[in-house]
C-alpha cells in the first residue's frame, strides 16, 4: 500500500463527498495516510485509515464526538459528510481491501505548537504560558466530554489498566522490546505489577476517568492566530484524565524546564476542572504508564525509524521513571 495506492483510494473517496478533481498533497503516513485536498478554493484533510486499526463503528464514534464538540464551540476540525450524509465512507480497493476514509475541513493557517523531538532534546521554544493554555484546553475538553458521556453506539478502546499495561496493551507489550537489557526488563516488570495495583486503586469514577483525547502532544495542538485547535483524535477513547496530562508532558521529561512545565499544565487545567492531590499522587506512575505505551508501540513495529529512536532515546527515560516510581511507592510503605 504505497503512496500511489493511497492517492488512488483518496481520489475515489473524494467523489463520494462531491469533491471532484481535487488537488491532493501528501501530508504524512504513520498509522494512517493523510492528504490535503484542495477543491474549489477550499482545503480538506483526507485520512485513510490503516486496514485493521479501527472498525467502522470506532471511526464513526470518533467523528460523532468531533461533530458534537464542534457544535459546542470547542476548537476541533469540522468533519465533512458525504453526499449521502455519512461521516465516513468505505472504499473497496483490490490490494488494500476495504479502506475507511474520512474528510475534515483543513485548519487553515494552523501551525503545530511543537514536536516530540524538540521537546525531548530540550530545544523546544514552548513556554510555560503555552503549556498553561494547553492545560486549560485539556480541562475544557474533559468538561465537554464528561457532559457528553458515552454517545449512542460508543465503540472505542479503553486506556485502562489492561489497555496500558501487560502483554495485551493497546499499543503492544513494552516488555517485548528487544532493546531492553535483562536488568531493565526485570525492573520494568516489577514496576508494571505495582502500577497495575495503583491504577486500580485510583478507580474509574467520573472525577478521574472518562472519554479523553489520549494523544494530546504538542504536535496535535495547532496554533491559529490566538486560538489553539486540537486535532488527531485517532487514539481517543476512555482513560484517566491524568493520563491526558502525562501525554502532554511525557516528551518534555528530559527538558531542563520540565518542573515548570508540569506546574503550568496543572495550574491551567485547574482553571477549568478540579485536579486534587489524590490524583497528583499518581503523577510519576502515570508518566511511566505513558512511557510504557511508547515502548509497546516500538516493540510492535520493529524496523521503523521511530521505533529505533524510541529504543535508543526513550528507553533510558522510561527506566529512570520506573526507578523513581518504585522509590516513591516504597516510601509510602
pLDDT tens over the chain, length 333 residues: 688 888 999 999 999 999 999 999 999 887 889 999 999 999 999 999 987 788 999 999 999 999 999 999 999 999 999 999 999 999 987 565 789 999 999 999 999 999 999 999 999 999 999 999 999 999 999 999 999 999 999 999 999 999 999 889 999 999 999 999 999 999 999 999 999 999 999 999 999 999 999 999 999 999 999 999 999 999 999 999 999 999 999 999 999 999 999 999 999 999 999 999 999 999 999 999 999 999 999 999 998 999 999 999 999 999 999 999 999 999 876
Q: What is the pTM of this model?
A: 0.95
User: Is residue 293 within 8 Å of residue 174, measured between CB atoms?
Assistant: yes
Nearest to 107 by CA among 221, 233, 18: 221
What is the spatial order of strands in the sheet that 221-224 belongs to?
A: 111-112, 221-224, 227-230
Query: Would you call 279 helix, strand, or coil by DSSP?
Result: helix
The number of angstroms, rounded, from the C-alpha of 149 to the middle of its chain's C-alpha atoms is 19
Distance CA 317, CA 301 (A): 20
Strand ranges (E), the chain: 23-29, 33-39, 42-48, 79-80, 89-93, 97-105, 111-112, 158-159, 209-212, 221-224, 227-230, 237-240
* pLDDT given at position 121: 92
Nearest to 100 by CA among 60, 136, 145: 60
* pLDDT given at position 200: 95
Burial (CB count within 10 angstroms: exposed 0-12, middle 13-18, buried 19+), residue 40: exposed
* Phi, psi angle pair for 145, to nearest 5°: -70, -35
Nearest to 249 by CA among 286, 295, 196: 286
Beta-bridge partners for 36: 25, 45
CB contact burial 110-125 (16+ within 10 A = b; e otherwise): beebbebebbbeeebe
Distance CA 178, CA 299 (A): 7
Distance CA 206, CA 193 (A): 25
Cell 478540579 belongs to 274
* pLDDT given at position 4: 87
Strand ranges (E), 59-120: 79-80, 89-93, 97-105, 111-112
Strand ranges (E), 40-148: 42-48, 79-80, 89-93, 97-105, 111-112
User: Is residue 54 within 8 Å of residue 101, measured between CB atoms?
Assistant: no
Measure the N-to-C terminal CA separation of the chain; round to a whole number of Å. 53
Q: Domains plus CATH for the chain?
A: 3-105 (3.30.200.20), 111-332 (3.90.1200.10)
* pLDDT given at position 84: 95
* pLDDT given at position 95: 61
Amino acid at each position: 500500500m504505497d503512496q500511489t495506492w493511497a492517492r488512488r483510494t483518496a481520489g475515489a473517496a473524494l467523489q463520494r463527498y462531491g469533491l471532484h478533481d481535487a488537488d491532493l498533497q501528501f501530508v504524512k503516513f504513520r498509522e494512517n495516510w493523510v492528504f490535503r485536498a484542495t477543491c474549489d478554493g477550499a482545503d480538506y484533510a483526507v485520512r485513510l485509515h490503516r486496514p485493521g486499526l479501527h472498525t467502522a463503528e470506532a471511526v464513526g464514534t470518533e467523528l460523532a464526538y468531533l461533530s458534537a464538540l464542534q457544535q459546542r464551540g470547542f476548537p476541533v476540525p469540522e468533519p465533512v459528510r458525504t453526499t449521502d450524509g455519512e461521516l465516513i465512507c468505505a472504499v473497496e480497493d483490490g490490494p488494500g481491501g476495504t479502506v475507511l476514509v474520512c474528510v475534515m475541513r483543513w485548519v487553515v493557517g494552523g501551525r503545530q505548537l511543537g514536536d516530540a523531538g524538540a521537546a525531548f532534546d530540550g530545544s523546544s521554544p514552548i513556554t510555560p504560558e503555552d503549556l498553561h493554555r494547553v492545560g486549560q484546553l485539556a480541562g475544557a475538553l474533559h468538561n465537554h466530554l464528561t457532559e457528553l458521556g458515552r454517545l449512542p453506539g460508543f465503540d472505542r478502546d479503553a486506556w485502562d489498566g489492561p489497555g496500558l499495561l501487560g502483554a495485551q496493551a493497546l499499543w503492544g507489550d513494552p516488555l517485548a522490546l528487544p532493546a531492553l537489557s535483562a536488568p531493565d526488563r526485570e525492573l520494568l516488570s516489577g514496576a508494571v505489577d505495582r502500577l497495575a495495583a495503583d491504577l486500580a486503586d485510583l478507580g474509574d469514577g467520573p472525577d478521574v476517568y472518562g472519554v479523553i483525547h489520549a494523544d494530546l502532544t504538542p504536535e496535535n495542538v495547532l496554533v491559529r492566530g490566538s486560538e489553539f485547535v486540537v486535532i488527531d483524535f485517532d487514539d481517543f477513547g476512555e482513560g484517566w484524565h491524568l493520563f491526558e496530562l502525562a501525554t502532554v508532558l511525557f516528551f518534555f521529561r528530559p527538558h531542563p524546564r520540565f518542573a515548570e512545565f508540569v506546574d503550568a499544565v496543572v495550574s491551567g487545567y485547574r482553571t477549568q476542572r478540579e485536579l486534587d492531590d489524590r490524583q497528583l499522587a499518581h503523577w510519576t506512575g502515570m508518566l511511566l504508564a505513558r512511557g510504557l505505551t511508547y515502548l509497546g508501540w516500538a516493540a510492535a513495529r520493529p524496523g521503523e525509524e521511530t521505533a529505533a529512536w524510541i529504543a535508543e532515546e526513550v528507553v533510558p527515560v522510561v527506566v529512570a521513571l520506573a526507578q523513581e516510581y518504585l522509590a516513591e511507592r516504597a516510601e509510602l510503605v
